[in-house]
A and B are shown apart, each in its own frame.
Chain A
Amino acid sequence: MIYLPLDTSQWISLDWSSLAQNFWSVTFDGLTFGAIYALVALGYTLVYGVLNLINFAHSEVFISGAYACVFMLTALGFGPSPLSMPAIELVGCLVAACVAAMAASAAVAFALERVAYKPLRARNGSRLAFLITAIGASFTIQYLIYLWRGATAEPAVIMFIPQPVFTVFGSTIDSQQILIVVAAVVMMVVVDQFIRRTRLGRGIRAVAQDPDTATLMGIDRERIIVSTFAIGGLLAGAAALFYVMKVPSGVIYNGGFILGIKAFTAAVLGGIGNIRGALVGGLLLGLIGNYGQILLGDSQWTDVVSFVVLVLILMVRPTGLLGSDLGKARA
């Protein structure tokens, strides 16, 4: 009775030759996307480490930043065709856009924490209650943006035309890829050092390890939580700038959703709660997703492949590649 057609090409077909031909360019592109995932993943990882909560609304924190970035660039005169301006001026504009995106994302993250999660903590909500609030808040922000900006994507904003810089294995690496990967790695290193060395970072680690004892030791838990959300928001804002750079026409009200799931996958892949793990997981996921996309022949396979990676990693090694260590191991 149950019979599947033998023509498997109707279901899934693999295109190995295309993967072999484009291997290196796909790799570099994958690393670029991976750097963006890694920055967003940090927001999930930090909040999970401190509150033990998957902050579903982090994808909306990210997309708010992307909107702010587009608005700022539009205000500066950028549009669908690139402007020709001196390099110094361009860098100034990018910094302004980055600051706008970071401010918007951090503000949304802060508001989210105060409006949605704090009252719930005060009432000692259950784990389930936090998750439901998170998804409800994610929805609320998403549809506020929808009602404001409509169902269509924002018009594309091109910051600059990527210039090929050097050639590796016969395929070029352009300035945009270098900028995104290097900037993301630098930011991750800064955050890593910040968490390891500063007073606030020590507080975050202490709360992640044991909230009650940390409070007894004189750490203001509420302040730590707000700072964690804000740091996650800042990084999501930076990721939003790179996202707009890479996918100029991808700013749409629900554009953060899938990216959020991928970033979370990246966090789990590297080990949730682990900052270096987020970087490793993000870059790896970017590569895997891009290879999958070329192999299977449709850009939407990236999302499916990332999801399969998430399920597989949970099956095989739920603590992730580098283990989870912001607090104690949490699996």
Chain B
Amino acid sequence: MSDNVSAGGGPTEPILGVEGAQEHEDEQAESARRTRFSALGAWWESLPRVGQWGVILPFVLLVFFLPVINPPLITTEPGNDWPLACFDMARFALVALGLNVVVGQAGLLDLGYVGFFAVGSYVAALWTSPDSSLVHIPYLWTLPLAMIVTVVFGVVLGIPTLRLRGDYLAIVTLGFGEIIRLLATIIPAMRGQVGFQGVGHPPGPAQHGVPLFANNHGTPWYMLTVGVIILVTILLGNVERSRVGRAWIAIREDEDAAEIMGVPTFKFKIWAFATGAAIGGLSGALFAGQVGFVNNQKFDVVTSVLFLCAVILGGSGNKLGVIIGGALVSYIPNRFTSIADYKYLIFGVALVLLMIFRSQGLIGARAHLLLFARTARMRTLELLRNRRREPVTTEEAAS
């Protein structure tokens, strides 16, 4: 691990040097804090892939063992179980990752994300709970099944609305989130408030007769979810660097222009919507498994707005940002229980203020996100640098 870091440190120096020289030129234009960040960014860019992995790994390990480490000050107040709070953070982070595909990548406003989350939860419940009359399957199989079912819901909802301007999607999804909850209430087979007890959980060695993935064991559930997050992040990263990801960004930046340039916007909007739905369903199924009980009380539309706030707060379009945003939105009410009652108000106000004062969120999507391929980006940066240096030399010659 440390070998990787030092191996990655080697080739950084010359590029850092170039960057440093250029910073000197722009010194007056940029504040010191900003240069430090861009230097960090340049250093990061200069690392080879393996080196980047090497730097990330310790952080990932730290996050992975968060419930075991239980850091003082950060830990939740006595009433709230820390590992379970960790699971909740991971769940929100996963949801935020999924919603980020729709809102952050493709620029479509989905206000009923909790609907997909609910569908995922109900899939897990219907096919594993003893209360359900359907055929039962092992819990882990419900995760892909939940994704498939939510994709179907996403496509059915997306086809009529995604042909139109984005506003309609916002209100249709807002309605969808509420309708799923209502359907769960009024269709007898969905059992309303009575709900489904004993939702399944993954297999694991039992200790003292308590299964590993018991409802009150936050740690294994947290680790499972973090594993899923890592997997999803890597897969999403690959999708974003592909044609699909470039199409999403083109749609987000200017839909009409994208259409004119030959991007089949409708198709890629459906893709984004379905991808987001699948991740929502996945996190819903995980949530159902951890809680072990699903009824209609957990899927208010207000939760959708919390999800949206996680994405906006973290920085829509930036995967790391939304993961942090999701974790924060879950963490703040758990950590500071005195303000938990005000959380919806706080996050509602936060949405308005963020839009007015810092619409890019805590960690905004990078401006050069448009240039995805690494080598292409490096080459373009080099070109820009050379071009910028030229007038300086001519000026020097003139003086």
Contact of B42 with A by CB under 8 A: no
Contact of A189 with B by CB under 8 A: no
Contact A135 to B111, CB < 8 A, known contacts A147-B345, A311-B160: yes
Contact of B342 with A by CB under 8 A: yes
Q: Which of B178, B344, B355 contacts A261 (CB 8 A)?
A: B178
Top 9 A-B pairs, shortest CB-CB distance = A136-B351, A139-B348, A315-B160, A140-B348, A143-B345, A10-B189, A136-B352, A307-B175, A133-B355
Interface centre among B159, B160, B185 (most CB of A within 10 A): B160
A-B contact pairs, 7 of them (CB 8 A): A2-B135, A5-B133, A5-B189, A133-B351, A143-B345, A298-B186, A300-B185
Across-interface contacts of A139 in B (CB, < 8 A): 302, 305, 344-345, 347-348, 351
B160 close to A314 (CB less than 8 A): yes
B118: min CB distance to chain A, Å:
14
CA distance A77 to B133 in the complex (A): 54
Q: Which of B159, B168, B359 contacts A125 (CB 8 A)?
A: B359
A1 close to B352 (CB less than 8 A): no
CA distance A129 to B361 in the complex (A): 12
Across-interface contacts of A318 in B (CB, < 8 A): 163-164, 168
B166 close to A123 (CB less than 8 A): no
Across-interface contacts of A258 in B (CB, < 8 A): 178
Contact of A53 with B by CB under 8 A: yes
Which residues from 332 to 386 on chain B have a C-beta closer than 8 Å to any C-beta of chain A? 341-342, 344-345, 347-352, 355-356, 359
B348: min CB distance to chain A, Å:
3
B26: min CB distance to chain A, Å:
25
B359 close to A12 (CB less than 8 A): no
B15: min CB distance to chain A, Å:
34
B301 close to A257 (CB less than 8 A): yes
CA distance A265 to B135 in the complex (A): 38
Query: B: which residues have CB within 8 A of A?
Result: 103, 107, 109, 111, 133-135, 137, 157, 159-161, 163-168, 170-172, 174-176, 178-179, 182-183, 185-189, 301-302, 305, 308-309, 312, 341-342, 344-345, 347-352, 355-356, 359
CA distance A119 to B134 in the complex (A): 53
Closest A residue to B159 by CB, please name it: A315
A11 close to B109 (CB less than 8 A): no
CA distance A146 to B342 in the complex (A): 10
Contact A314 to B161, CB < 8 A, known contacts A5-B133, A139-B305: yes
CA distance A331 to B164 in the complex (A): 7
CA distance A331 to B160 in the complex (A): 12
CA distance A243 to B377 in the complex (A): 59
Closest B residue to A144 by CB, please name it: B345
CA distance A136 to B183 in the complex (A): 26
CA distance A294 to B356 in the complex (A): 46
A136: min CB distance to chain B, Å:
3
Query: A: which residues have CB within 8 A of B?
Result: 1-5, 9-12, 48, 52-54, 56, 115-116, 119-120, 123, 125-133, 135-140, 142-144, 146-147, 257-258, 261, 264-265, 268, 296, 298, 300-301, 303-304, 307, 310-312, 314-315, 318, 330-331
B189 close to A143 (CB less than 8 A): no
CA distance A323 to B183 in the complex (A): 31
Beyond the given A139-B345, A301-B186, A314-B168, could you list 20 further A-B residue pairs with CB under 8 A, ordered by the A residue number? A1-B135, A3-B135, A5-B134, A5-B189, A10-B187, A11-B187, A11-B189, A125-B355, A125-B356, A127-B167, A128-B109, A132-B109, A132-B308, A135-B305, A136-B349, A136-B351, A136-B355, A257-B301, A261-B175, A300-B186
B184: min CB distance to chain A, Å:
11
Across-interface contacts of A137 in B (CB, < 8 A): 348, 352
A135 close to B176 (CB less than 8 A): no
CA distance A125 to B161 in the complex (A): 23
Interface centre among A5, A48, A303, A307 (most CB of B within 10 A): A307
CA distance A268 to B160 in the complex (A): 14
Closest B residue to A264 by CB, please name it: B171
CA distance A108 to B175 in the complex (A): 23
Q: Which of A3, A304, A315 contacts B183 (CB 8 A)?
A: A304
Across-interface contacts of B356 in A (CB, < 8 A): 116, 119-120, 123, 125, 133
Q: Which of A12, A53, A126, A136 contacts B167 (CB 8 A)?
A: A53
CA distance A174 to B165 in the complex (A): 42
Across-interface contacts of B179 in A (CB, < 8 A): 303-304, 307
B333: min CB distance to chain A, Å:
13
CA distance A48 to B140 in the complex (A): 46
CA distance A123 to B354 in the complex (A): 12
CA distance A131 to B359 in the complex (A): 12
CA distance A136 to B352 in the complex (A): 5
Closest A residue to B345 by CB, please name it: A143
Across-interface contacts of B164 in A (CB, < 8 A): 314, 318, 331
B182 close to A140 (CB less than 8 A): no
B189 close to A131 (CB less than 8 A): no
A300: min CB distance to chain B, Å:
5
CA distance A41 to B187 in the complex (A): 29
B308 close to A135 (CB less than 8 A): yes
Interface centre among A128, A300, A312, A331 (most CB of B within 10 A): A128
B350 close to A136 (CB less than 8 A): yes
Interface centre among A9, A52, A132, A146 (most CB of B within 10 A): A132
Closest B residue to A139 by CB, please name it: B348
Across-interface contacts of B347 in A (CB, < 8 A): 139
CA distance A311 to B162 in the complex (A): 11
Contact A300 to B182, CB < 8 A, known contacts A314-B161, A318-B164: yes
CA distance A146 to B167 in the complex (A): 27
